[in-house]
Amino acid sequence: MTAFILTACSSDNIPDPDDYIKLGQYKGLHVERSSYEVSEEEMQDELDMLANAYAGDDGKAPELTDEFINRISAGGYKDLESYKAALKDEMKAEYDEFYELQYYEDLWNLAVDNATVIKEFPADYLRSKTERSVIAAQKYAQSLDMSFEDFVDQKMGLTVEEFNRQAIEYAETAAKESMVLQAIARAENITVTDEDVKKAIDEYVELGAFESEEAFRKEGPERLEELKEYILTSKVQDFLAQNAE
C-alpha cells in the first residue's frame, strides 16, 4: 500500500511547509455547530407545490386528503400525516448535511487563520496557483461552449483584467491553505493511499463523471494530484472535526 503526502514533487512544486508556515492551534477548536428545524411555513410551501403539481385543467389544485396521498404514493404513505413526517425528515436531513459541511469548513478556516506565514511564498509557487485558477475557469468556459472572455464577463461579471487580478490575489490564500494542509498532514501522519485514490476514482465513474478509471487517468498527472489533494483535505478536515471541542 503506497501512501502519499503532497510534497515538492507535486504539480504545484509545493515547498517544505516548515519553511513558510507556523501552525497555530488546530486541535481542540471550537466553532458553533448549527442545527435546523423545518418550519410550518416551509412545510406548507412543499405541500402547496405537491398539490399544484396535480392541478386539473382548470388550474385548481386537489385537496391533500389521506386518500389522495395514499393513491399518488402507490400505497407508500397511508395518510397525509405519515407523508408530512417523512417529508420533514427528508428536508431536515438535507439541511443537516449542508450544516455539517459548513461546520467542517468553519473548522478548516479557523485552523488556516490560526497559522502564520513566516516567509514569502516562492514566486513560481504562487504563479502555479494563479495558473490553476485560470485553467479551471477556461475549462469551465469550454464546458459551457463559451469563450473565456464571455464566460468571465457573463458568468462572473468581470473583465479579463479583473479576473486575472483576483486570481493573483487568491493565489496567496490558496498557497497558505496548501501549506497548512501539508503541515497538519505531516504533523499527524495523515496520508493518501492507493486505495483512497482508487475508491475516489470508482466513485467518479459510478456517478458518471468519467466512463472508466482509464478515462480519468488520461486526464494526466495534474488531475491526479488535484484528486490526491482533495482526498487529503477531506482527511485533514475529518481529523479537525474529530479533535474539536
**Mean pLDDT of each 10-residue bin along the chain, 245 residues long:** 38 77 97 88 93 91 93 93 93 90 95 96 91 88 92 92 91 94 96 93 89 86 87 96 95
What's the per-residue H, E or C state across 120-185? CCCHHHHHHHHHHHHHHHHHHHHHCCCCHHHHHHHHHCCCHHHHHHHHHHHHHHHHHHHHHHHHHH
193 phi, psi to nearest 5 deg? -100, 170
Grid cell 485552523 is found at: 111
Q: Distance between CA atoms of 93 and 23, rounded to whole angstroms?
A: 35
Kindly list the domain boundaries of the chain, sorted by start residue: 27-114
Q: What is the rounded (10 degree) CA torsion for 130, 134, 135, 140?
A: 140
Name 193's bridge partners: 3
**Structure confidence at residue 8 (pLDDT):** 34
Q: Distance between CA atoms of 77 and 97, rounded to whole angstroms?
A: 25
**Structure confidence at residue 2 (pLDDT):** 39
**Structure confidence at residue 122 (pLDDT):** 93
CA 208 to chain centre: 18
**Structure confidence at residue 213 (pLDDT):** 86
Q: Distance between CA atoms of 14 and 178, rounded to whole angstroms?
A: 8
Answer whether 31's CB lies under 8 Å from 107's CB: yes
Q: Distance between CA atoms of 63 and 175, rounded to whole angstroms?
A: 57
- Please count the CA atoms within 13 angstroms of the CA of 69 that sit on its side-chain side: 16
74 phi, psi to nearest 5 deg? 50, 40
**Structure confidence at residue 225 (pLDDT):** 87
| Cα-trace Rg, the chain | 24
**Structure confidence at residue 218 (pLDDT):** 85
Which amino acid is present at 209?
A
Predicted TM-score (pTM) of the model is: 0.77
**Structure confidence at residue 13 (pLDDT):** 59
**Structure confidence at residue 9 (pLDDT):** 35
- Per DSSP, 40 falls in state H
3 phi, psi to nearest 5 deg? -115, 140
